[in-house]
Structure 1
Amino acid sequence: MEKELFYVNLNPISMETISPIKVDDGQLIEYEISATPEEKKEFEKLLHEVQAHDVELGNLFTFRHFDDKKIDRDHNEYQRGLNDVFDELYRLGTEETKEKIKEIHLVNDDM
């Protein structure tokens, strides 16, 4: 399958959207990836899962935020999800994207 260029932003509101069109917005950090339709679909699924978990963490209408152990577990799970997102961004990323990720020190040593 042939790979196409797509753009990913990690804005919490639209995190799971991978677009074929670059948004020209100086406030938005976009990462360029090269992916097959299947890779794009799998990455969107991962982004959606991480974003859904972030929304769960933001739910202040429960008393879960008083349980420090639960908060730590939730935070660690969310961080693992973000690490997976950056690993996938690096794997599918163009050279420019890989450089951006290296600059912010988010490259997994196993890659």
Structure 2
Amino acid sequence: MEKELYYVNLNPISMDAISPIKVDDGQLIEYEIAATPTEKKALEDLLHEVQSHDLELGNLITFRHFDDEVVDEDRNEYQRGLNDVYEELYRLGTPETKEKIKEIHMINDDQ
């Protein structure tokens, strides 16, 4: 299957949107990836899952946020999901994307 170029941003509002068009916005960090339709769908699912969990963390209506152990567990789970996102972006990324991810130390150099 042939890979196509896509652009991914990790803006919490539109994190699960993968676009074939680069957004010309100096405030937005986009990661360019080359993916098959199957890889694109898997990444969209992962992004959606992480974004959904992030929105759950923002839910302060409950009393869960008073329990430090629950809050720490939620944060750790969110961070693991975000780490998975960066690993996938690195795997699918163009050389420029891989360099950006290395610069922010979001990938294990042992890979």
Q: TM-score, normalised by structure 1?
A: 0.98
Alpha-carbon offset, residue 107 of structure 1: 1.2
Q: Tell me, what secondary structure is at the counterpart of 1:108?
A: coil
Distance 2:51 2:65 in 1: 18
Write out per-residue CA displacement over residues 37-87 of structure 1, whole angstroms, 9 at most, x where no aligned residue. 000000000000000000000001110100000001000000000000000
Q: Tell me, what secondary structure is at the counterpart of 1:8?
A: strand
Distance 2:40 2:21 in 1: 14
Aligned to 1:26: 26
Identity %: 80
Write out per-residue CA displacement over residues 10-48 of structure 1, whole angstroms, 9 at most, x where no aligned residue. 000000000000000011000000000000000000000
Alpha-carbon offset, residue 109 of structure 1: 3.6
Structure 1 runs (4+) deviating above 4 angstroms are none
Task: Write the mapping of 1:1-111 to structure 2, written as runs, cut at 5 A.
Answer: 1-111=1-111
Gap regions ≥5 residues in structure 1 = none
> Which residue type is aligned with residue 39 of structure 1?
E
Q: TM-score, normalised by structure 2?
A: 0.98
Aligned residues: 111
Distance 2:82 2:37 in 1: 22
Distance 1:81 1:53 in 2: 9
